[in-house]
A and B are shown apart, each in its own frame.
Chain A
Amino acid sequence: MKISVIITLKKDVLDPQGKVIHQTLEGMGFNDLNNVRQGKYFEIDTKENDSKEAKEKVEEMCKKLLANLVIENYEIINVQ
C-alpha cells in the first residue's frame, strides 16, 4: 500500500526559500503571483494492507519524525 503525505509550513512561519522562488518566478515573467510557499512530499510504501491501519501509522510517523508540529502541518493526500 502506498501513502502520500505533504508537509507544509504553517501560515505564520517565515519561508525564505518560498520567497526567493517567488521572486525568481516574477523575474521570469510570472507576474500574477500572490505568494509561493515551499513544502515537502513523501511517498511511503508499506507492507500494511489495511488502509485505516496504514493511515494511522503514517500519522504517527508524521507526528514523531516527518513533520515538526511547531512549524509544519501534515496532510495525507493519497492512499492506494
Chain B
Amino acid sequence: MKSSVITFPGSNCDRDIDVALKKFGFNNKMVWHGDAELPKSDLIVLPGGFSYGDYLRCGSMASKSKIMKSVINFANSGGMVMGICNGFQILVEAGLLPGVLLRNKYLEFICKNVFVKINNKQNKYFKNIDNEILEFHIAHNEGNYFCTQDQIKKITDNEQIAISYCNKDGLIEEQFNPNGSIKNIAGILNKEKNILGMMPHPERMIDSSLSGEDGSLFFNNLINNLK
C-alpha cells in the first residue's frame, strides 16, 4: 500500500505519521506542499502542526497551496485522504469537509489523552476495528468543531460523525468534551466516507512503552481495509 504525507511549512507531525505509516506496512513518501503532482497513492495524509504559523485562520493558507489542487482532485475522485489535527483544519478550509475548527472554548491549548467513540464503521477507516472506544492523544488550540444548523443536520443524517469525545466507557457527554465542539465531535467524514478529518493523533499511540497501542489498532486495521 502506498501512502503520501504532505509537508507544509510549519507541519510538525509529518515525521511522526511517516514513522507510523511505515511501521504498519505502508510504503510512504513525503511530498512538499509546493509540488504540483502527487505520487501514486492509496492514502494521502495531511499531518498535524502549525502550517504557516496558523496565520489568518488555522489551515487557511495551506489549503491554497499548490499540492492541494491535486489533493482535492484525488479526494473528489474517491481517493482516501486523512487529515489529522492541523490536517483536519486544512481539509475544512479547503472545502473538502463541512464546518470549521474554532478556538477551544476555554482558550487553552489542550495536550492530553482522550477517549473517542467510533460512531460509524461503514467506512474504510474504521471498518472491522474491534474496539468501540479508542484512546488517542490531542494537542491543539483550535479544535472546537463548529458548523451551521443545516450542516449539523446533514452530517448527522448522513452518518458523517466519525468519532466523538467520550469517557472510558464510551459515554458521550459535555463533561468529556475537551474543547467545546458541537456534539463532542472529534472527527468527521465526507458524505462519501473517503475523507476523514480528526483532531486526535493516532500516530502518537503506536508504542506501548511510550504511550498506548490504540493507534496501532487503527493503522493495522486501516492498511488491511485498503488491501
Residues of A that sit less than 8 Å from B by CB: 13-14, 16-17, 20, 64-66, 68, 70-71
- CB of A21, distance to nearest CB on chain B (Å): 11
A64 to B64, CA, bound (A): 9
- Residues in B with CB closer than 8 Å to A16 are 103-107
A71–B99 CA distance with the chains assembled, in angstroms: 9
Contact residues of B: prevailing secondary structure: loop
- Are A14 and B147 in contact (CB-based, < 8 A)? no
Q: Using C-beta atoms within 8 Å of the partner chain, give the interface range for chain B.
A: 20 to 34
B107 touches A71 (CB 8 A): no
Q: How far is the CA of A18 from the CA of B180 in the complex (A)?
A: 16
Q: Across the interface, do B57 and A68 meet the contact criterion of CB distance under 8 Å?
A: yes
In addition to A14-B146, A17-B103, A71-B146, 20 A-B residue pairs with Cβ atoms within 8 Å of each other are A13-B102, A14-B102, A14-B144, A16-B105, A16-B106, A20-B107, A64-B64, A65-B56, A65-B64, A68-B57, A68-B60, A68-B93, A70-B98, A70-B100, A70-B146, A70-B147, A70-B148, A70-B151, A71-B100, A71-B102
Contact A66 B107 (CB under 8 A): no
Distance between Cα atoms of A14 and B179 in the complex (Å): 12
Q: How far is the CA of A16 from the CA of B142 in the complex (A)?
A: 11
**Closest chain A residue to B61, Cβ basis:** A65
Q: Which residue of A lies closest to B144 (CB)?
A: A14
Asked if residues B146 and A66 are in contact (CB atoms below 8 Å), the reply is no
